[in-house]
Chain A
Amino acid sequence: METTIEVAGLRKRFGPTLALGGMTFTVSPGQVTGFIGPNGAGKSTTMRVILGLDAPDAGHALAGGRPYASLRNPLTHVGALLDAAALQPSRTGRNHLLWLAHSQGLGARRVDEVIALAGLQTAARRKAGGFSLGMRQRLGIAAALLGDPPVLMLDEPFNGMDPEGIVWMRGFLAALAAEGRAVLVSSHLMSELQEVAGHLVIVGRGTVIADTSVADMIASASADRVTVRTSARWDAATVLSNAGATVADAEGGVLTVSGLAAERITALLGGSKVPFSEVTAHRATLEEAYMELTRDAVEFQSGGPSGLAGRAAS
């Protein structure tokens, strides 16, 4: 448990707004954990609590098995990128890293190492105020890596990155996880984390909705749904309904069937001489699974915060 983040029962209110309603999860080493939820779900607040920046009303958070505030040279335990814009614009990128390194007893050599790791060699000696958002994200990653920490925590690191940068960032995060680090990456877009996250903590309204591996999540979201392409939609729907399935009509001669396995559908349609050109066990995208999970949790869809918050906290 040395190289993990543990969050247990975090609760926090900002005035009338419930930010965290009992947030509980653990981040494991050796993989990228996606911390996903719509805006306002409490991702950033959770990260600030983990870093000891915000005090929770209840609950606790541990980094490397200890409260963050008790860590000596904390950046060697947890590297974090909360806000890429948190810079003094008139200071160069390299000097930003330099003071941070000095605060942890590290030297200029380590600064130059992380500049190279983040691919910032050409920009590092320019004023950070002139950096694009993508370059600031790279600078933030470099800062998080200064202490070579076993735990990394990045808040929306893909924001403002160009496609090339996003590809770089995915590969980079995967490589960091492959070195055995615990990597927690937040995003409000599932697509950004597709292919890189091995585990997902999905949150909404300040609480965890799902804490699952990517494979399990896709499987559960795709559970026993089958698409049937047929020219005789009515006949097919009747046969399958009679066999106990739920059938939904989609456009273009495609039915979505749930409640029956693909093999059984093939057999039923063949036995009833209903023509079909394709029977496909449906595989949901991660995005679809995420949308389905968070449909209720998206802030602005709800009638009022109190009703949903009460349910989320229960």
Chain B
Amino acid sequence: MTTITPSRPAARPGRGGFAHLLRAEWTKFRTVRGWVIAILVATLVTLLLGLFIGSHSHVAPCTDGPNGPACRYIIPTGPGGEAVTDTFYFVHRPLTADGSITARVTSLTEVTESGTTPQGGPAHTQPVLVPWSKAGLIVTAGAGQGSAYAAVMVTGGHGTRMQWNYTGDTPGLGKGAGEVGGVSAASPRWLRLSRAGDVITGYDSAGGTSWTKIGTVTLPGLAPAVQAGLFVTSPGSAKQTSQQITSASGTAAPTDATATFDRVTLHGGRPGSSWTGTSVNAGPDSPYPTGHEAGYRQAGGAFTVTGSGDIAPDVTGGVPIDVLLAGLFLALVAVLVAGAQFMTAEYRRGLIRVTLAASPRRGRALAAKAIVLGAVTFAAGLAGAAAAVLIGIPLLRASGNPVYPATALTEVRVIAGTAALAAVLAVLALAVGAILRHGAGAVTAAITAVILPYLLTAAIPVLPAGAADWVLRVTPAAGLAIRQVIPAYPQVAASYTPSSGYFPLAPWAGFAVTCAWAALALALAACFLRRRDA
């Protein structure tokens, strides 16, 4: 008797064989009505919920704005295309050439407004600390919404900073870390902005003699004639806890900040020009809460300026398009069931032996299955997500909602990313099915790993925010970040929690975590499939 150590022969490269396997698995998939229906249901749920949300959302109802109807309100965008808040009061002069503006800030205080008098002013005011109230110097292309700008400022609670074009932010003296509390007559702050062409440099100083450069920024395409001046603004106090989709008009209490500037000098100003006060805002339709006391007084060399609002990226003011994909997690249930069943049905009645007899190279058989399932899910997801978003946006607008501006690239990322996420999760469910070889077990495991973290952190936020962040960093649900539209900005106070639509990881990083899970499960599945007797 010959006894040979058993070993499976090494795989030889096959020509065309893999294409046959792909075709076979596609035939397998499309000939089981339940799987086709599950995928169609996933697509339809995504689409129909998108249409429903689009036509039934009333985030900023027409009759509910603080300054009148909010219908047709269009959120301004900055030079980079991102949504911005551009609301402040400033006292300015034209700057037509290279030059600089310097001033000393001796106070910054804030009050919160409540009630209204018959004359339209606030009935009561109360002192309050608003950490992101800002008072300082600005060089801006103009008073139009979303204009290019650079500014240096003192803040209510984040020290001296240089900011530009809404998203740029650099701390100044003390680097902002421990420097809480504002300026005062006893502890003033000197600020300076110098302009050379489209390059702006910001400085600050404690005594006005020794200056520290905070940063130099380029504002591409800045026209020769710009406005330079003193600005003050203060975001609504309730903004810090407002929800992403909650109407700011309904919850935020407006605040006013008042700052005192002296020792104001402007070099390069247009000869003969005088200081002008301008309230920059998005117009009466804006749902953004602002105070009523904006204005300035000039006494001797000192300016007292009061303003309300913010010059910053906007994270609260509109409906982000990802809400149109709120049906995703329902669709994912169908996708996970179909994905797991596509594999476990093979084991239920021993069909896997027929499959592996037809394709003895097991890794390839598994790969063909995963590719077909992934491709089918991606195509279905793409159709559902694209229809939900592209039809949903006009519906949102038609029902009076300001749509949070998203660049075309972001729209593509949200739509294709959602489809890709569904595909990767389907493959994950398939791999879990191959490992467990049991339909109900695999479906339960996949839903526990994907849907449950999402439900516990975002839909029904029972976990504390810190724990929720960790869950969304390490579980396969991390990939849901792929459809987050509104970025989180450190220089804007908001509730950056999963339940407000913010994921702890960047979109592609979260997606990569989900992919890593799918890859790990698939590798394990391949290993088991090769080792175990069929």
Contact = CB atoms under 8 A, between A and B. Distances in A.
Please indicate whether A and B come from the same complex rather than being unrelated chains.
yes
Interface residues of B, number: 38
A103 B32 contact: no
A59 B4 contact: yes
B356 A53 contact: yes
Interface stretch (B20-28, B156-164, B168-176, B185-193): B20-28
A55 B8 contact: yes
A173 B14 CA distance: 32
Contacts of B356: 52-53
A58 B8 contact: no
A187 interface: no
Interface in B20-42: 20-21, 23-25, 27-28, 31-34
Contacts of A71: 360
A127 to B, nearest CB: 9
Given A85-B350, A87-B349, A91-B32, A98 B14 contact: no
B1 A68 contact: no
A92 B31 contact: yes
Nearest to A85: B349
B31 A60 contact: no
B358 A8 contact: no
Nearest to A70: B9
Contact of A8 (B2, B23, B534): B2
A40 interface: no
Nearest to B35: A90
A52 B148 CA distance: 69
Interface string B347-360: 00111011111111
Contacts of A302: none
Given A53-B533, A58-B6, A87-B351, A22 B1 contact: yes
Given A83-B353, A99-B28, A103-B359, A53 B534 contact: yes
B17 A73 contact: yes
Contact of A103 (B3, B21, B533): B21
Interface string A68-85: 111111110000101101
Contacts of A67: 8-9
A104 interface: yes
Contacts of B3: 9, 11, 58-59
A11 B4 CA distance: 10
B533 A98 contact: no
Most chain B CB inside 10 Å of its own CB: which residue of A53, A89, A104: A53
Contacts of A53: 353, 356-357, 533-534
Given A9-B3, A53-B534, A88-B345, A69 B360 contact: yes
B524 to A, nearest CB: 19
B16 interface: yes
Interface string A41-65: 0000000100111111111100000
Contact of A52 (B12, B354, B355, B360): B360
A7 to B, nearest CB: 11
Contacts of B355: 103
B27 A95 contact: yes
B5 interface: yes
B6 A55 contact: yes
A96 B355 CA distance: 11
Contact of B8 (A52, A92, A102, A104): A52
A69 B8 contact: yes
B357 A51 contact: yes
A87 to B, nearest CB: 6
A228 to B, nearest CB: 45
B1 A102 contact: no
A91 B346 CA distance: 12
Contacts of B1: 8-9, 22, 24, 59
| Closest A-B pairs by Cβ, 3 of them | A103-B24, A95-B31, A99-B27
Given A82-B353, A89-B349, A96-B31, 16 more contacts: A48-B353, A53-B533, A53-B534, A55-B8, A57-B6, A69-B361, A70-B12, A72-B14, A73-B17, A74-B360, A80-B357, A83-B350, A86-B354, A87-B349, A95-B27, A100-B358
